[in-house]
């Protein structure tokens, strides 16, 4: 049992997989927020205000 706890074979692959999954989840949430109508309206107003004299 002691050797099993000390063995880290494959731990890097699992860490990379978890990072990729977390990144994908964050990207999905960000896309969902950015395509919402309220965010689109706010960005449109912000850009219009910035470009108006």
- Domain definitions of the chain by residue range: 26-53
Between 34 and 5, whose confidence is greater? 34
Model confidence, pTM:
0.56
Q: What is the pLDDT of residue 14?
A: 84
Residue among 17, 43, 21 at smallest CA distance from 51: 43
Q: Dihedral through CA 25, CA 26, CA 29, CA 32, nearest 10?
A: -100
Mean pLDDT over the full length of the chain: 84
The pLDDT tens digits for 8-24 are: 666 778 889 999 999 99
Number of continuous H segments (helices) and E segments (strands) in the chain: 3, 0
Dihedrals phi, psi of 35, to nearest 5 degrees: -90, 0
């Amino acid at each position: 049992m002691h050797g099993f706890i000390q063995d880290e074979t494959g731990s890097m692959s699992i860490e990379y997989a978890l990072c990729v999954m977390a990144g994908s989840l964050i990207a999905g949430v960000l896309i969902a927020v950015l395509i919402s109508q309220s965010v689109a309206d706010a960005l449109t107003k912000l850009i219009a205000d910035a470009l108006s004299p």
